[in-house]
């Protein structure tokens, strides 16, 4: 089974995903890293050279390939913050994975992203708190609709979040 982690940038998908895969003794993948490997360019380079629309197409193709390749084996997959905003990606996340929405407040996200906006094209040159609030408004309902489980991450460590996902996922399977 594939467990996918979704939520806004800064919620800890990659860090929690690594810890969760360790606890489950399974493979971890970060969809953004898969895209970088497939394209031979960084995410900011793809956005700058091809635009967000082209990036979303690349993301969909990578997501399809990863989920098809992961069938039958345990995998934890950290999705990009905008992955499920593409309807076909949301469908894949909901129907081919156990999708976990890692919900965090704007304040928590801002604290996690402070000083780390380089390499995040959707934050560059913007007021972080304002941009995160807007993204939360635009995407929150999509995350909730796509996910099978919603985990509130505010005030919790990576280990605590991974343990909570582990406990919650046993009730859904």
CA–CA separation, 41 and 37 (whole Å):
7
Q: Which of 24-28, 114-118, 129-133 has the lowest mean pLDDT?
A: 114-118
pLDDT at 86: 95
Residue boundaries of the structural domains of the chain: 2-166
- Would you say the pTM of this structure is higher than 0.75? yes
Q: Which of 72-81, 106-115, 152-161 has the lowest mean pLDDT?
A: 106-115
CA–CA separation, 39 and 34 (whole Å):
9
pLDDT at 118: 55
CA–CA separation, 164 and 50 (whole Å):
38
Inform me whether the pLDDT recorded for 121 exceeds 90.
no
pLDDT digits 0-9 by tens, 27-36: 999 999 999 9
The mean predicted confidence, pLDDT, of the chain is: 90
Report the 10 Å Cβ neighbour count for 111: 11
Q: What is the arithmetic mean of pLDDT over 127-135? A: 85
**CATH number for the domain whose boundaries are 2-166:** 3.40.50.300
Report the 10 Å Cβ neighbour count for 83: 24
pLDDT digits 0-9 by tens, 46-95: 988 999 899 999 999 999 999 987 666 789 999 999 999 999 999 999 99
pLDDT at 173: 53
Inform me whether the pLDDT recorded for 120 exceeds 60.
no
Most confident of 43-47, 69-73, 123-127: 43-47
pLDDT bucket at 1, cuts 50 / 70 / 90: confident
Inform me whether the pLDDT recorded for 122 exceeds 60.
no
């Amino acid at each position: 089974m594939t467990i996918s982690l979704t939520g806004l940038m800064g919620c800890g998908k990659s860090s929690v995903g690594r810890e969760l895969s360790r606890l489950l003794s399974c493979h971890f993948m970060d969809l953004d890293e898969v895209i970088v490997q497939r394209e031979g360019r960084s995410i900011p380079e793809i956005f700058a050279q091809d635009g967000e629309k082209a990036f979303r197409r690349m993301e969909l193709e990578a997501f399809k390939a990863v989920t098809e390749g992961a069938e039958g084996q345990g995998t934890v997959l950290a999705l990009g913050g905008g992955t499920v905003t593409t309807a076909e990606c949301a469908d894949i996340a909901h129907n081919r994975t156990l999708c976990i929405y890692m919900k965090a407040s704007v304040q928590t996200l801002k604290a996690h992203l402070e000083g780390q906006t380089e390499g995040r094209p959707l934050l560059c040159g913007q007021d972080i708190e304002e941009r995160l609030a807007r993204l939360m408004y635009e995407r929150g309902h999509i995350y909730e609709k796509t996910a099978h489980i919603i985990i509130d991450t505010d005030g919790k460590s990576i280990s605590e979040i991974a343990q909570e996902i582990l406990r919650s996922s046993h009730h859904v399977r």
